[in-house]
Amino acid sequence: MIIIPAIDIIDGNCVRLSQGDYSQKKVYNSHPLEVAKMFESWGLTRLHLVDLDGAKAGKVINLKVLEKICNSTSLVVDFGGGIKSDGDIESVFNAGAQMITGGSIAVKDPEIFLKWLENYGPEKIILGADHKNEQIAINGWTETSNLSLIDFIRNYNQKGIKKVICTDISKDGMLQGTSTDLYFRLMSYFPEIELIASGGVGSLNDLEELRNINIPSVIVGKAIYEGRISEKEIVEFINR
């Protein structure tokens, strides 16, 4: 199982939210590049970088942070937040991202999202399936759509999507465990998809539970920043 650390950006700072609530913002570091280099030094190879300013504004805001991280580390970065146009996605890939995550755009403008999937291929385009009570949420999680999580994934799976980040917003940043039962169900429905679990990891035990149900990848954020999972535990976990 691949551990993918998360860096969420607001005003150029590395932050975490609780349940997607921008008013519950906590700043952990003013230098995201330092954090990315720390993850690289632990032996981690991937990074989930989220432009929370961009997600709220509907346009990419923190492109320079992406450029710095891609130019100064060897991390494979997937970038999300505010990618709405052909110009946005070109800028993000030109800045060094190897993958992008599209959530709101896949709901609001499926034609452009499918065009990107066709142009760039399923290895570079990740479907962001963020949900509350299995209803898809959009625009930095500020709105809930009328799309069910299962139908949303099924629709894009039929059209060629191979990678899906599934975030349970009710658990995100709460450090109280993940939606293991839901992920197990999704894996049975869509065995050919690389499911990337996100939201709720609070301990090494949560990672072990996900590994036990053969989740391919998991995003970890606040548990690392709050010291709930140590560098030693991460290193040992990825090396066995």
- Residues designated as active site: 8, 130
The answer to whether the CB of 46 falls within 8 A of the CB of 17 is no
Rounded Cα distance, 129 and 196, in Å: 10
Q: How many CB atoms lie within 10 A of CB 109?
A: 14
DSSP 162: -
- Burial of 133 (C-beta count, 10 Å sphere; 0-12/13-18/19+): exposed
Joined tokens for residue 110: 């499926």
What is the Cα–Cα distance from 163 to 157, expressed in whole angstroms?
A: 9
Closest C-alpha to 28, from 81, 61, 36, 197: 36
